Chains A and B, each alone.
Chain A
Amino acid sequence: MAAPLRIKRQLAFSPWLFAAPGLLVVGAFVLYPFVSTLVNSFTDRRTLVPGRFVGLANFRELLHDDMFWTGLRNSALYVLGVVPALVVLPLLLALLVQKHIPGITFFRSAFYTPVVASIVVVGLIWVWLLDERGLVNSLLETVGIGRVGFLSDQWLLLLSAMAVTVWKGLGYYMIIYLAALANVPRELHEAAAVDGAGPVRRFLSVTVPAVRSTMVLVAALSSVAAFKVFSEVYLMAGPGGGPAGEDTTLVMLVQRTGTGLTGRVGYASALSVVVFAVTVALMLLVLRADRGEER
C-alpha cells in the first residue's frame, strides 16, 4: 500500500471511470449474489415465486434431509481422498521433471495437457475408458483380472471420479511445485549426500521441509476445490448422482435443487451457505495445521 503517489492533479472522476466496469461486474454478479444467497437462505423463495421470511426453517429442514447428508458425506470424502494424492504425487512428478535432461520441456508440456482440456472432455474420456466394455476393462480382462464395474458401483464410482480429479490436477500442481523446487539450494542436497543420506532420507529431510509452505498452499487450494466438486461426478455418475443418487455431491444438490422453473431457491441457498461455511472452515483448518506444525 506504500506506492509513492506523487502525481496528484487529475480529473476527480477519472479514477472511478477506470474502476467502474470492474466494480460493476464484480458487484452485480459476485458480491450481490453472495449477499442475496445469504438473504434467500432465510426465505422460501422459488424460481417463479417471491419468498417470505421463514427464519431458520431451511436449515432445520437440512438436518432431516437424507440427501443433504449424502451430499455432505460425498463432498467430505472427496476432500479426504483427493487432497493427500494432490499434495504428494505432483511433488514427486516435479522432482522427476526438474532436471534439465534432453526432451524434458516436451514431457512437462505433455503432463500439463489434462489441465488444459475441459472437464467435460476429461470426464467423457474417462467414462469411455472405465466403461464396462472400455479400455481399462479390456486390459484387466487380458491380464486375467476380469471386468470391474467402475461406473456402476456406488463407491467405485466415487473413487473413479476422485482418480479423474487427481489425474486432471497433477500437471497444475506440478508446475507450482517446480517453481518452489527451483528455490531449494542445491548445497543442502550435496551436504546431505556427503553425510551419507540416501534418496528417501534426502527427500524427507531436505526437499519436504524446503517446500513445506508450498505443500500447505496446495493442500488449501485442492481441499477447497475438492469440496466443491461438481463436474466430474455429474458426468461420470449422471445428473441423478449414480445408483439411487448415492453419489450426489453437495454442489450437485445445489444445482439440482435450485434450478429449473420449480427450483427451490431458498433451500438451495441454505445448501450454498453450508458450502461457504465448510470452504472457510477448510481454509482455516489447513492454515492452522500449518502453524501448529511450525511450533
Chain B
Amino acid sequence: MSLLEKTRPDRQAARAREPRVTDRQGRRVRAGELIWRYLLLLAVLALTVGPFLWQLSTSLKGPTEDVYSSPPRFLPAHPTLHNYARVADTIPVWDYALNSLRVAAANVVTNCVGSALAGYALARLRYRGRRATTLAFVLAMLVPVEGIVIAQFTTMRELGLNNTLIGVVLPGAIGAMNVLLMRNAFRNLPYEIEEAAYVDGANVWQRFLRIALPSVKGTLAVVAIFAFMGAWDDFLWPLIVLSDPSKFTLTIGLNYLHGTFANDERLVAAGTVIAVAPLMALFACLQRYFFRGVGEGAVKG
C-alpha cells in the first residue's frame, strides 16, 4: 500500500460520490490522489519517452523545415521518409543492420546452448572438478569487461579474428552470468522426475533434453532476450575489434555517421530510429521476460 494514501473516516460521505477506482487489492483510491498521481506519471512519461519522440519527429522533418526553430515545433509539418533514404545513401545502413542481426542471433544461440549445457553440468552432474568449474564461472562473472578489452583485442589478433563478426561475438558467446542463471534454474527443479527417468533407463542426454530443458524455458527466454539486447546494443567491444567499415554493426555505424555528419540532424535522427526500432518492437512483445531478467540478474549480480 502506498505511504501516501491516507485514511480519513470523517469524509465517508464525500468519498461515496467519487468515482470508484480501486487498486488490485480492492482498495479504493481517492480521486484527488488519482489526479496528482496521473499528473506525475505524465510528467515522467514526457521525460522518458519524449526524447525518443522528438528524435522520431526530427527524422520525419523535410529539408525545407526548420528543425532549430524557437519555440520548437514538435510535429513535422510535412512528414517525409526522405531522411531514411538518405541514410541508406550515406552509409550502408541495411548492411550494418544485417551485421547487427547476425551478431545478435549468433549471441542468442551460443548463449542459450552453452549456458544450458554448462548450467546443467554444474547443477545436476557429479564429477571431479565441479567446484572448480563453478568457481571459474563465478570469477569470470566478477571480471569487469572494460578492464580486459585490450587483452581481449590482442587475443583476437593472435587468433586472426580481429575485424571479423566472429571476433565480435566470441568474448560474450557464453556469458558466465548466464551459466550461473541456468544452474540456479536447474537446481530449483524437483529432482525426483529425473530420478524416475534414470530408473527407466534414460541416459544423461535424454534426461537433459527431454526432462530438464523443457522445464526451464522461462529462464532460457530471459537468457535469449538479454543476449540479443546485449549484442545489439554493445558499443565498446565492437568499436575496438572492428576497423573495416564494411564489417560495422549498427552502433558503430551510427557513431561513424554522427562523427562525419554531425551537423545533419535529420540524417542522424533517422539512423538512430532505425537502430532502436527493432528493440522497441521486441520489448513491446516480450516485456514480461525483460522485467523478469532484471530481477534474476540483480539477485545474482
Give A residues with C-beta under 8 Å from B: 1, 3-8, 10-12, 14-19, 21-23, 25-34, 36-37, 40, 47, 93, 95-102, 107, 109-114, 116-121, 124-129, 131, 133-135, 137-139, 141-142, 167, 170-172, 175-176, 179, 186, 189-190, 192-194, 199, 202-203, 206-207, 217, 221, 224, 228, 230-231, 235, 238-239, 251, 254-255, 258-259, 263, 265, 268-269, 272-273, 275-276, 279
Contacts and interface: CB of A to CB of B under 8 A. Distances in A.
Best-surrounded residue of B3, B54, B143, B148 (most CB of chain A within 10 A):
B3
Given A110-B49, A279-B144, A231 B235 contact: yes
B242 to A, nearest CB: 11
A113 B235 CA distance: 18
A206 B255 CA distance: 46
Interface size class of B (residues with CB under 8 A): 35 or more
B34 interface: yes
A97 B41 contact: yes
A116 B229 contact: yes
A258 B37 contact: no
B100 to A, nearest CB: 9
Given A29-B155, A269-B150, A6 B176 contact: no
B240 A255 contact: yes
Interface stretch (B10-18, B80-88, B216-224, B293-301): B293-301
Contacts of B38: 101
Given A15-B121, A116-B280, A254-B149, A107 B3 contact: no
A228 B251 CA distance: 19
Contact of B301 (A3, A107, A221, A273): A221
Given A14-B205, A18-B125, A124 B54 contact: no
A189 B271 CA distance: 49
Nearest to B173: A25
Contacts of B170: 25, 29
Contact of B236 (A114, A135, A230): A230
Contacts of B127: 12, 15-16
A176 B284 CA distance: 19
Prevailing SS type, chain A contact patch? helix
Given A23-B136, A32-B155, A224-B144, A109 B149 contact: no
B125 A36 contact: no
B171 A30 contact: yes
Given A116-B229, A275-B147, A279-B144, A8 B126 contact: yes
Contact of A120 (B71, B147, B208, B275): B275
Nearest to B137: A26
B2 A95 contact: yes
Given A22-B137, A109-B287, A224-B144, A128 B2 contact: no
Contact of A47 (B68, B157, B272, B291): B157
Interface in B242-295: 250-251, 254-255, 258-259, 265, 268-269, 271-272, 275-276, 279-280, 282-284, 287, 290-291, 294-295
Contacts of A110: 45, 48-49
Contacts of B227: none
B210 interface: no
B160 interface: no
Interface of B: 1-7, 21, 23-25, 29, 34, 37-38, 40-41, 44-45, 47-49, 51-52, 54-55, 58, 68-72, 110, 113-115, 117-118, 120-127, 130-131, 133, 136-137, 139-140, 143-144, 146-155, 157, 170-174, 176, 179, 187, 191, 194-195, 198, 203-205, 208, 229, 232-233, 235-236, 239-240, 250-251, 254-255, 258-259, 265, 268-269, 271-272, 275-276, 279-280, 282-284, 287, 290-291, 294-295, 298, 301
B37 A113 contact: no
Nearest to B236: A230
Nearest to B116: A18
A272 B236 CA distance: 14
A171 B37 contact: no
B243 to A, nearest CB: 9
Contacts of A19: 117-118, 121-122, 133
A98 B272 CA distance: 32
Given A100-B24, A231-B235, A95 B148 contact: no
B84 to A, nearest CB: 15
Given A26-B136, A110-B49, A254-B146, A189 B155 contact: no
Given A22-B115, A128-B269, A258-B153, A31 B125 contact: no
Of A3, A30, A110, A119, which is in contact with the most chain B CB atoms at under 10 Å from its CB?
A30
A124 B254 contact: yes
Contacts of B179: 22, 26
Contact of A93 (B44, B130, B150, B298): B44
B153 to A, nearest CB: 6
Contacts of B144: 224, 228, 275-276, 279
Of B208, B233, B271, B301, most buried by chain A (CB within 10 Å of CB) is: B233
Contact of B117 (A22, A37, A100, A206): A22
B150 A175 contact: no
Contact of A119 (B5, B25, B172, B233): B233
Contacts of B120: 18
Contact of B150 (A3, A27, A109, A268): A268
A37 B148 contact: yes
Nearest to A137: B70
